[in-house]
Structure 1
């Protein structure tokens, strides 16, 4: 459990966010009779994710004087390995399937809000909040803690009718994604880039682009593997640096 007041407040705000998503999914499934895998799920989610985005922004504004972001040099190569293909696929999809209709615009707006809400809540608030923990434990605890909580967010998708085995798979993939986004925020120092990347990834899935353009599904799989490799390499380097620093200070 977090020991500093800032970390505890950040975690509390995040738990409320997850509870809000759980209630939203339950209402969508039980009241509106729309399940997670239905084509209309994103449209039905839109008003709920709008409120959650406001909560994430409000949490940040309330805690921003406590949330000192990571400093140091900005680095982009590892991030661009994932980001550039996402941009390319989105541009191609818009050029070949784009149309000025509400049906086309709704997934665009919804995934922008998802990217904004989740990156502000889980990286800018929770990850940075956990970085305020005592010296020597904050980096590892912030990376792992924020990734675990981000993964648990997706467990509430079972309340929207997502089959339990699919939810378990989401827990694994989103844990890796949580590590990746926290590491990339730490390396790029740009929450805006994290929002853009998260939005594009979700958009390609929820818009149906990966099914309408089959090659996109293969590219997403390759990017998932690349994301995992990047996480392993960067974490290994980080742990080696920590051990070397501890040995020098001993």
Structure 2
């Protein structure tokens, strides 16, 4: 069967993906540090949240859209050529979605003002930005040369390690190390969701929902269900490690596609 996929503007290369990943981290940490608002003070007011986190996510979203368009990588970044033959691992991201709903149920919504809620909605952009960088553009670049098992492992490890920058913003060392481990597991869950559904979009939605739900429980006095949600989410991550081999098996997603000729 002839290849009907549109040619890419720039041929995927590993160094391009790594450069985008590093540039994204540098951009976010620079804007957030310039705000002068410590990481643990974001939840104190709508202004702290918007200028401490929201502005960096908005700027990153715009620049990532421009970058992906210039590269011509939208299709491989957002869509699989073929979905995983094994669909049953979908239960893993479903568990994470249930955990997010549990968090939202346990949230003290009475502690939210209108302005604070509006500012916190900007956190939903983290699903778009971090997924497009890690399991979109970086994944596309890695697939140009590496076997799929390495694509999963490297994208998940780097996604976890990217959370180390929170230390520079004032986050506690011990808590950040735990966050790095949790993010690696979550990255595996999001990778499974991409492979099973055939699209990164669902991973973007789930990622944004989970991060928003975690922040929501930190406002006011969360119910006991939030503690259970953390256990469910962590369990989903470990189950993801046990299941990820099944969605990797048979993957044929190499991105050594032809480059579009220049006009």
Q: TM-score under structure 2 normalisation?
A: 0.75
Q: Which residue pairs with 2:65 in the alignment? A: 57
Q: Which residue pairs with 2:96 in the alignment? A: 82
Q: Which residue pairs with 1:112 in the alignment? A: 124
> Is the counterpart of residue 42 in structure 1 residue 49 in structure 2?
yes
Deviation at 1:15, TM superposition (A): 0.9
Change in Cα spacing, 1:167 to 1:209, as seen in structure 2 (3 Å) is: closer
Deviation at 1:187, TM superposition (A): 1.6
Aligned 8 A contact 1:57 1:117 in 2: no
Q: Secondary structure at the match of 2:151?
A: helix
Q: Secondary structure at the match of 2:82?
A: coil
Q: Which residue pairs with 1:18 in the alignment? A: 25
- Name the structure where helix makes up a greater proportion of residues: 1
Deviates more, 1:225-234 or 1:116-125: 225-234
Q: Which residue pairs with 1:103 in the alignment? A: 116
Q: Secondary structure at the match of 1:132?
A: coil
Counterpart CA distance in 2 for 1:168 and 1:100 is: 32
Q: Which residue pairs with 1:245 in the alignment? A: none
Aligned 8 A contact 1:35 1:160 in 2: yes
Q: Secondary structure at the match of 1:201?
A: helix
Change in Cα spacing, 1:51 to 1:6, as seen in structure 2 (3 Å) is: same
Q: 1:215 aligns with which of 224, 230, 253?
A: 224
Q: TM-score under structure 1 normalisation?
A: 0.79
Q: Which residue pairs with 1:70 in the alignment? A: 80
Counterpart CA distance in 2 for 1:18 and 1:46 is: 15
Deviation at 1:208, TM superposition (A): 3.3
Unaligned runs of 5+ in 2: 1-10, 251-263
Higher relative contact order (CA 8 A, sep 6+): 2
Deviation track 1:110-133 (CA, whole Å, cap 9, x = no partner) reads: 211111111111111112321222
Deviation track 1:46-70 (CA, whole Å, cap 9, x = no partner) reads: 1121111122222222223486342
Counterpart CA distance in 2 for 1:166 and 1:206 is: 15
Deviation at 1:79, TM superposition (A): 2.3
Superposition RMSD on alpha carbons, in Å? 2.7
